[in-house]
Amino acid sequence: MTEEHDGSELCFPQLNTSCRKPTVSWSAAVCLRFMLSSVSVLTVVLNLLVIISVSHFRQLHKPTNLLLLSLSVSDLLVGLVFMPGEILRKTSCWFLGDLMCSLYTYVATVAVCASVGNMVLISVDRYIAICEPLHYPTKVTVGRTKFCIFLCWLCSNLYRILSLKDVGFHTANYIPCYGECVFVIDYTAGVFEVILSFIVPVTVIIVLHLRVFVVAVSQARAMRSQIKTVKLQHSVTLTSRKSELKAARTLGVLVFVFLLCFCPYYSVSLAAVNLINTSYGIFVLCLFCCNSCINPLIYALFYPWFRRAVKLIITLQILQPGSSETNIL
């Protein structure tokens, strides 16, 4: 009876090197599958809308929007690859083989690294726009922005390629078996990689946004004091500055949500805790994944152009000739 019971817990009972099935409670498995499946579908749909909007309408081909486009591509990969892979890894045996496991870990790591890199670029963009407004048009051009996005994705891929082992937070004593797809690395190396790929970029993001916040507050106060006495010829400048400040607030919310979703996940990872063992672990994993779904909702909430673009996309008006020249702003 004991052998039968042990065999039923194996992914491949006929193999001596088979992994055991994930030790997840039924309720936890159902919760995780439902949450991540729903978030995955929503993430893919919403980020596709962002990608189509920025790509199709010429008015949106601006540096800041190109950064949002790049972020949406990484978020799309998270929803399309990372979330379904996590559902399979955490709640059942991995039946897709080693090749698909390697491909999954590669794409998932690149997508997460690119998300962090895009957030750094967005922070730099807002820093220059708010703190050095006179130099922004010359320093931040469409060409330079595209080059920076290219470097971001190139570095994310190189980071993954140069990793000799799959990135993760397990000990080096891991013994491979059939029916499992894991992120494996020595704990010390894992800590170093988290510092390099998360703590350092997050520190840069926080420092830049603190500076942006201080300057934005001082500029907002100055604008309020000048509005009553400003002349008509200066109204365009004031409108431009108000637009930049609004964009800074919007992207500040974007970064805050990013930190809120990512920090708990990496904190648990650094503590070498199995994310699926506790209800808190399930919450942290879902929160981490939700960031890719929340970003487009932030655009919808703060950007009127995104709402107009979605309306045109859903009604298929973008299929009409010349629709790319539509006034969307």
What is the tens place of the pLDDT at every residue in 235-282? Answer: 545 455 555 556 566 667 777 888 888 778 777 666 655 554 556 666
- 189-204 pLDDT, tens digit per residue, is 667 777 777 788 888 8
Distance of alpha carbon 230 from alpha carbon 309, whole angstroms = 34
What is the spatial distance between Cα 93 and Cα 22, in angstroms, rounded to a whole number?
7
pTM above 0.75, yes or no: yes
CA–CA gap between residue 40 and residue 232 (Å, rounded):
49
CB neighbour class for 153 (10 Å; exposed up to 12, middle 13-18, buried from 19): middle
Crossing angle for the helix pair 235-270 and 97-131, to the nearest 10 degrees: 140
Q: Under DSSP, is residue 20 helix (H, G, I), strand (E, B) or coil?
A: strand
The C-alpha atoms of residue 126 and residue 306 are separated, in whole angstroms, by: 19
Domains assigned to the chain = 25-224+236-312 (1.20.1070.10)
From the CB of residue 143, how many other CB atoms can be counted at a distance below 10 Å? 8
Look at the chain and count its residues.
329
Higher pLDDT, 8 or 287: 287
DSSP summary character for residue 199 = I
Give the mean pLDDT of 303-322: 88
